[in-house]
Chains A and B, each alone.
Chain A
Amino acid sequence: MNTTVIELTAEKPQPAVPSAKLLKPLTGAEALMQALVEEGVETIFGYPGGAIMPVYDALYDYQDRLNHILVRHEQGAAHAAEGYARVTGRAGVCLVTSGPGATNLVTGIADALIDSTPMVCLVGQVAMKLLGTDAFQETDVIGVTMPITKWNYQITSADEIPEIIAKAFYLAQSGRPGPVVIDITKNAQVELMTKSFHYKKCERVSTYRPRLIPKQDQVEKAAELINKAKKPYMLVGHGVLISKAEKELLAFVEKTGIPVATTLLGQSALSDDHPLYTGWLGMHGNYGSNVMTNQCDLLIGIGMRFDDRVTGNAELFARQAKVVHIEIDPAEIDKVIKADAPVIGDVKEVLNRLMPLVNENDHTAWRNEFRKYDDIEEEKVTQPALAPTTEKIKMAEAINLLSKKTNGEAVMVADVGQHQMMTSAYYEFKKPHSLVTSGGLGTMGFALPAAFGAKVGDPSREVIAIIGDGCFQMTLQELGTIAQNKLPVKIIILNNNYLGMVRQWQQLFFERRYSFVELQNPDFITIAKGFGIVGHTCAKREDLSASLDTLLASETPYLLEIIVEQEENVFPMVPAGTSVADIRLE
């Protein structure tokens, strides 16, 4: 009953293997390999198993064209694919077996969906005639992943492979990107195609039409509000980076003179040292950046979705302001915050069309209104954090020093918790696509695999993972992947022997009843050594600088454990469910 929905282009396929060989019928597994090559895939993160073995057998002959990285757990493959996608903008690819192989991907898939990360997961499945029989390692992967994928599909015959793989990559990478799961039954992997292999990249799906070019009237209405505003304020999200619109953003900001804040995932879209950059938004964002959302007269949300960690209590958020919402996904408009002027389209296309319509402006006086909050934050939060009198090192000073030593140019891969917030707050990002972190889902254990995924994606950049002692123990098996593939990822564990963020909440909101947050940790350096990764522990402030130098100078993967203040809290903080105006500094 399936209808053909892919419009194929007339473009000639360029086979990577001699065309004579392609004239012979390929098996499904060979077709899959060939399709990946034609799609331009370079790296696969995967783990073999029963129902995917025909594909792994075909991969044996494709090792020169497809770089397969054997992870230690499928969750690692998913996060690595995310890390890869976040620095390259191309879909990360996972290859796993059926049943547990597939279910182990689930956390990563959910993470990729909520953070709009392109990913294609190729999953083995039992043979078609065994479907529904509770066969060995059979799980209803289509059913399981339905709510957490942009699209999923079960391939049951070899002939479907080229077309479906092309569609998978197109859907994962176009519009608002997201994860796609392709479940491939074993018979489809082993059987021969009944037609010759023919690959055409998918460029259009008839039932799916993401709007890239905005409607002109929407752009004009937004421009009118922007030109009229006395106190406009721009909130920049992940969409700007996905759209690769950093240059357009910079030009727009400099022409209009509008102060800019970023969301957590929008970090690095504008250089942190830009005079119009006010800081970042959200539960642990900057004081002024948060408070001013409730004082501006126009809020321009761009490539962002007004997450509750950004708005606090949404009913008390920016009530005084008109809202321009620039977004590619129409379902985000009015979802949380009502937009007076929605503009649906790709951020880059929207900015290009807004540019000629907006007036040159200078909002220095308004920008300066942020300064008083900056000064208070500097005095109450930043200074004490950066020049501490505590015996132990503080997270903030470690990140700040790292920022200086790397000139703000590294790719920071932050895990989830206090160290993540500290990385966002104290690393001064100078280059775009430099913060890779699990924003929407808050997946502990994300950073270690995402870091080597990012390193594979862009080997030219220094990739530094900032990980808490709790997070590290969720995916530390991936040290094996890093060692085996000699991926020079720099790993910093900020060890406070606590699940720090939960402890902070228990301290502030649960009367210091520290319920199961204290960790008896292993010797991380010995563990790393066991995997063949060198490292050392830094426990004293006077050793910090030299320790970071050692880490950065290493040409091999390196683990630096920094023992930090045990009960350090992250401030500013907008307590959950309150207004951003109720932000706490201590």
Chain B
Amino acid sequence: MNTYTICIFTENTIGLLNRITIIFTRRRINIESLTVSETERMGVSRFTIVIKHDSREAVEKLVRQIRKIIEVMAVFGYLNDEIVSNEIALFKIATPLGSKPLDIEYINKNFNAWVVYWQLDYVVIEKTGSEKQIFEFFSYIKPHGILEFVRSGRVAVGKTEKGLVEYLPEYEWEYYL
């Protein structure tokens, strides 16, 4: 099984997520993670979808089917070594009176994680990194008692010099910046 990251540029319209995911469903391909947000171009969304598959050919066919969606501008599929990727995770850690103290400095230095919010009974720690790094931190922090844990799913950029938006069809783009 290889992990593939599929980047999809689309118009930002209602229902498009559904139109994209049914293409996976129909081929019985599970989505491991999915993030969507608007790009630097107004009205253009970028999907990052992570799947596992043992056939590169099947993934290529999947990509071609996604390209057929009218509102889709471009689709790119990558193996892990072709991208720089990251996730963000939030950990809500219990800190009741008398509990084992959290070594914030150690966490900062060794895990590159930060306390982003605190209350009397708990703190929220933000950790960015690969899935592997996040789970390493998870193992470290687990004894403290994790009240809540969430991962964002992968965001990724390709290692090619050109930005992916450069490949989009010409259009009178409006930029946010």
Contact = CB atoms under 8 A, between A and B. Distances in A.
A207 B15 contact: no
Given A146-B19, A150-B70, A209 B169 contact: yes
A206 B169 contact: yes
Interface stretch (A24-32, A326-334, A356-364, A415-423): A326-334
Interface string B1-25: 0000000001111110011001000
Q: Is the interface of B mostly helix, strand, loop or mixed?
A: mixed
Interface residues on B, range: 20 to 34
B171 interface: yes
Interface in B34-80: 42-43, 57, 60-61, 64-65, 67-68, 70-73
B15 A142 contact: yes
B64 A3 contact: no
A1 B18 contact: no
A147 interface: yes
Contact of A207 (B11, B18, B22, B61): B11
A106 B12 CA distance: 27
A330 B67 CA distance: 9
B43 A3 contact: yes
A446 B11 CA distance: 36
A276 interface: no
B73 A329 contact: no
B162 interface: no
A133 interface: no
Interface in A135-184: 142-143, 146-147, 150-151, 154, 171
B61 to A, nearest CB: 6
Given A206-B171, A330-B67, A335 B61 contact: yes
Nearest to A208: B70
Interface string B148-177: 000000000000000000000101000000
A5 interface: yes
Interface in A197-229: 205-209
A2 interface: yes
B64 A330 contact: yes
Nearest to A5: B11
B109 interface: no
Contacts of B70: 150-151, 171, 205, 207-208
Contacts of B64: 330-331, 333, 335
Nearest to B170: A206
Nearest to A151: B70
Interface string A1-37: 1110100000000000000000000000000000000
Interface string B108-135: 0000000000000000000000000000
Closest 8 CB pairs of A and B: A3-B43, A331-B64, A151-B70, A207-B73, A208-B70, A1-B12, A147-B22, A206-B171
24 contacts: A1-B14, A1-B43, A2-B12, A2-B13, A2-B14, A2-B43, A3-B13, A5-B71, A143-B18, A146-B15, A146-B18, A146-B22, A147-B26, A150-B70, A205-B70, A206-B169, A206-B171, A207-B10, A207-B169, A329-B68, A330-B64, A330-B67, A331-B64, A333-B64
Given A142-B15, A329-B68, 8 more contacts: A3-B42, A5-B71, A147-B22, A207-B71, A208-B70, A330-B64, A331-B61, A333-B64
